[in-house]
Chain A
Amino acid sequence: MSAEQDILQELAGREYEFGFETQIEMDIAPPGLNEDIIRFISAKKQEPEWLLEWRLKGYQLFQKLTMPNWQNFDLPEVDFQGVSYYAAPKNKVKYNSLDEVDPELLRTFEKLGIPLEEQKMLSGVAVDAVFDSISVATTFKAQLHELGIIFCSFGEAVQEHPELVKKYLGTVVPQSDNIYAALNSAVFSDGSFVYIPKGVRCPMELSTYFRINAKNTGQFERTLIIADESSYVSYLEGCTAPMRDENQLHAAVVELIALDNAEIKYSTVQNWYPGDKDGKGGIYNFVTKRGICKGKNSKISWTQVETGSAITWKYPGVILQGDNSIGEFYSVAVTANKQVADTGTKMVHIGKNTKSRIISKGISAGHGHNTYRGLVKVGPNAANARNFTQCDSLLIGDRCGAHTFPYIESKNNTAMVEHEATTSKIGEDQVFYLNQRGIDNEQAVNMIVNGYAKEVLNQLPMEFAVEAQKLLSITLEGSVG
């Protein structure tokens, strides 16, 4: 017991590896949210008129919508007028090649383990690197272009492929979905855009790396992925931010569209700055992510490893519209120190023979609180819908919490919905067993936690599974005796 507490104390001392700040001259919009700022952002990005109109409509909705009140944590007051909504390295709205990019920026990404020179990169991964409000570089573009795959920054997609953006933007997450989605649609900065043409299997992992750097800003990226008929893509996002005393807001929107027989696999390794041991600072990660299996036999799979952020609040979901479509959600969420996570998924069964699978593994340590919140909804026409939910919680220490709110709504009596849940504590017996074989506490906890989360980690692309395991270890460093 006492050793456990010692280590719990140690937890306080854990380091956030990516807390450095890049010194670079920035163009930062003055703090405040109003129509002028929205026009300013739109003009900076040289957007067409329809998109500006769309942003302004988002802003109107934002003003009308109210904050949700059902979340299982104290929602901090966010001063929307105190935030700057645009920050970009000076003088550049768009980089045409890496030669134009400030070497300081390249070094930043290199330090984060994301070298942007193609020859240095993992060969199977194409990266779009987003620094505050703009995309710095997208690698392997030419190679992908040959296959007809579009992988570029959102801003570029607006210029080059306006018809696709216009057709799909806001079709999965309507602007009115929630107040943060409305905010995002008004002020969204960069993000990634992916289009996989009919019958193409994307040969490499596509990945976006988000970095918040500037002070007193938020990041409001927007990602749109369209998988045309019989195509396949695996996409991964990663993110970090400097250590700061004040909280920063990250309110992203991600929309996925899978047409007939298409498959999208979307993985997230979220490592925003979590704040310090007393809960000071850290990112508010309030994100709306949703996919639609629009076509028959399509499949969307979400995998998330959530280790960072002061508060994580998100429910990546799937609308199963096409007959025989499949939605999956695999999640590991870790909360240590005073971190909070309220996360889960929504599976909306509309088509016939639709299937969904939810595997959620919460890990709470320190004073962390972890909530699983999930909705499985079966519509009247979703004959033979199937859902399986498994929702496990692991507690480390005796000052943390695990909470589960599963909701099931079924309007079709041929549906089968299963829910399994467990809560366990890391056993002293397990730790002692490993100790007795020469393994110290730290590593013992790592092994137990990684074993517990294995089913989810196995879903990650190989290159990132190792990273995710390391991240889990760092996050839980010193959390048990």
Chain B
Amino acid sequence: MLDIKNLHAAVEGNAILKGINLTVKPGEVHAIMGPNGSGKSSLASVLAGRESYEVTDGSVDFLGKDLLDMSPEVRAREGLFLAFQYPVEIPGVSNINFLKTAVNEIRAYHGEPPMQAKAFLDMLKSKQKLMEFDANLMNRSLNEGFSGGEKKRNDIFQMAMLEPKLAIMDETDSGLDIDALRIVSAGVNKLRSKDNAFVIITHYQRLLEYIVPDFVHVLYNGRIVKSGTKELALELEEKGYDWLKEDIRLEEPVQ
């Protein structure tokens, strides 16, 4: 589904990603962990096509197409979804209208007619139930005046509505209390299928207790320095990242 090869990216000339290799297959959940500033969120931004990031080398294949060649909205329409670390507020734009526009844009891209109002509302209702999303939030302006946790939940609700093939969750767990974390995780688990995949970026092993990953990768200094199964997350929780840094320093050629 997703094949990242030797991906290098920079912001304002500063190299941030320095050769990422990662393959994600349908049905898989990958967790990406790593200390602050290692490039986790940058990877999410580059994949989603944020303009301030410049790809300097490497390739990304998404469902057989060149992802890096697509504009952000086309990536979204092809089925890539980013749950934001900091979802923004858009005053005056109703959550429902926004979702309807997004759903219909994606449908139009795939040559499907716009959804009828009734069908859309039915879908809205069933997903709202599925994700345990507050109906009041749905009727408000997009994220306007939402708490941090509500914004994150709104993002996950959008994910349920848009049914992406690949969802990247950028520190969705940060700022969530334990109840919200449980609800969000349960929602994600309900959305998991053999046809879609998740890349979960997180600092903490806690989230991975709820959403059990197939693979765990450690990102450090712009590269994936260690990959393993969910046990790796536990090891990191126990030992921190310093032991890895030591290993890497020994491996790295002297500059």
Chain A residues engaging chain B, CB cutoff 8 angstroms: 1-3, 427-430, 432-441, 443, 447-448, 450-455
A-B residue pairs in contact (CB < 8 Å), sample of 29: A3-B51, A430-B88, A430-B90, A432-B50, A432-B72, A433-B84, A433-B87, A434-B102, A435-B49, A435-B71, A435-B72, A435-B73, A435-B76, A436-B73, A436-B75, A437-B102, A437-B105, A438-B73, A438-B109, A439-B73, A439-B101, A440-B71, A440-B105, A441-B73, A443-B101, A447-B98, A448-B90, A451-B142, A453-B92
A1 — which chain B residues lie within 8 A by C-beta? Answer: 51
Question: Is residue B31 contacting chain A, with contact meaning CB distance below 8 A?
Answer: no
Considering the complex, give the chain A residue whose CB is closest to the CB of B79: A438
B71 — which chain A residues lie within 8 A by C-beta? Answer: 435, 440
B97 — which chain A residues lie within 8 A by C-beta? Answer: 447
Contact between B93 and A450, CB atoms less than 8 A apart: yes
Interface flags for B36-55 (1: CB within 8 Å of A; 0: not) read 00000000000011111000
Contact between B106 and A438, CB atoms less than 8 A apart: yes
Contact between A436 and B92, CB atoms less than 8 A apart: no
Contact between A452 and B91, CB atoms less than 8 A apart: yes
Give Cα distance in the complex from A454 to B141, angstroms.
11
Considering the complex, give the chain B residue whose CB is closest to the CB of A448: B90
Contact of B90 among A443, A451, A453 (CB under 8 A): A451
Considering the complex, give the chain B residue whose CB is closest to the CB of A451: B92
Main secondary structure of the interface of A (DSSP, over half): helix
B50 — which chain A residues lie within 8 A by C-beta? Answer: 432
Question: Is residue B9 contacting chain A, with contact meaning CB distance below 8 A?
Answer: no
Give Cα distance in the complex from A132 to B84, angstroms.
54
Considering the complex, give the chain A residue whose CB is closest to the CB of B93: A451
A451 — which chain B residues lie within 8 A by C-beta? Answer: 90-93, 141-142
Contact between A438 and B98, CB atoms less than 8 A apart: no
How far, in Å, is B92 (CB) from chain A's closest CB?
Answer: 3
Give Cα distance in the complex from A93 to B170, angstroms.
70
Can you name 19 extra interface pairs (CB under 8 A) apart from A441-B73, A447-B98? A3-B51, A432-B48, A432-B51, A434-B98, A435-B72, A436-B81, A436-B82, A436-B84, A437-B98, A438-B105, A438-B106, A439-B105, A440-B71, A448-B93, A450-B92, A450-B93, A451-B91, A451-B93, A451-B142
A450 — which chain B residues lie within 8 A by C-beta? Answer: 92-93
Contact between A440 and B73, CB atoms less than 8 A apart: yes
Contact between A454 and B72, CB atoms less than 8 A apart: no
How far, in Å, is A300 (CB) from chain B's closest CB?
Answer: 26
How far, in Å, is A34 (CB) from chain B's closest CB?
Answer: 51
A434 — which chain B residues lie within 8 A by C-beta? Answer: 90, 98, 102
Question: Is residue B77 contacting chain A, with contact meaning CB distance below 8 A?
Answer: yes
Contact between A439 and B102, CB atoms less than 8 A apart: yes
Give Cα distance in the complex from A440 to B102, angstroms.
10
Q: When A435-B49, A451-B93 are in contact, do A429 and B101 touch as well, CB less than 8 Å?
A: no
A452 — which chain B residues lie within 8 A by C-beta? Answer: 91-92
How far, in Å, is A200 (CB) from chain B's closest CB?
Answer: 35
Contact between A438 and B84, CB atoms less than 8 A apart: no
Chain B residues engaging chain A, CB cutoff 8 angstroms: 48-52, 71-73, 75-77, 81-82, 84, 87-88, 90-93, 97-98, 101-102, 105-106, 109, 141-142, 158, 162
Give Cα distance in the complex from A1 to B52, angstroms.
8
A443 — which chain B residues lie within 8 A by C-beta? Answer: 101, 105
How far, in Å, is A428 (CB) from chain B's closest CB?
Answer: 7
Give Cα distance in the complex from A141 to B34, angstroms.
75
Give Cα distance in the complex from A447 to B141, angstroms.
12
Considering the complex, give the chain B residue whose CB is closest to the CB of A427: B88
Give Cα distance in the complex from A430 to B92, angstroms.
13
Considering the complex, give the chain B residue whose CB is closest to the CB of A455: B92
Give Cα distance in the complex from A429 to B87, angstroms.
9
How far, in Å, is B91 (CB) from chain A's closest CB?
Answer: 6
A455 — which chain B residues lie within 8 A by C-beta? Answer: 92
Give Cα distance in the complex from A454 to B49, angstroms.
30
Contact between B102 and A438, CB atoms less than 8 A apart: yes
Considering the complex, give the chain B residue whose CB is closest to the CB of A441: B73
Contact of A438 among B77, B87, B88, B141 (CB under 8 A): B77
Give Cα distance in the complex from A438 to B77, angstroms.
5
Give Cα distance in the complex from A427 to B86, angstroms.
14
Give Cα distance in the complex from A427 to B82, angstroms.
18
How far, in Å, is A13 (CB) from chain B's closest CB?
Answer: 19
A453 — which chain B residues lie within 8 A by C-beta? Answer: 92
How far, in Å, is B171 (CB) from chain A's closest CB?
Answer: 16
Give Cα distance in the complex from A337 to B104, angstroms.
31
* From B51, B106, B109, residue with most partner A Cβ within 10 Å: B51
A432 — which chain B residues lie within 8 A by C-beta? Answer: 48, 50-51, 72
Nearest first, the 8 A-B pairs at minimum CB distance are A451-B92, A451-B93, A435-B72, A454-B92, A437-B102, A438-B76, A438-B105, A438-B106
Contact between B106 and A433, CB atoms less than 8 A apart: no
Give Cα distance in the complex from A3 to B162, angstroms.
26
Give Cα distance in the complex from A453 to B51, angstroms.
27
How far, in Å, is B232 (CB) from chain A's closest CB?
Answer: 29
Give Cα distance in the complex from A438 to B106, angstroms.
6
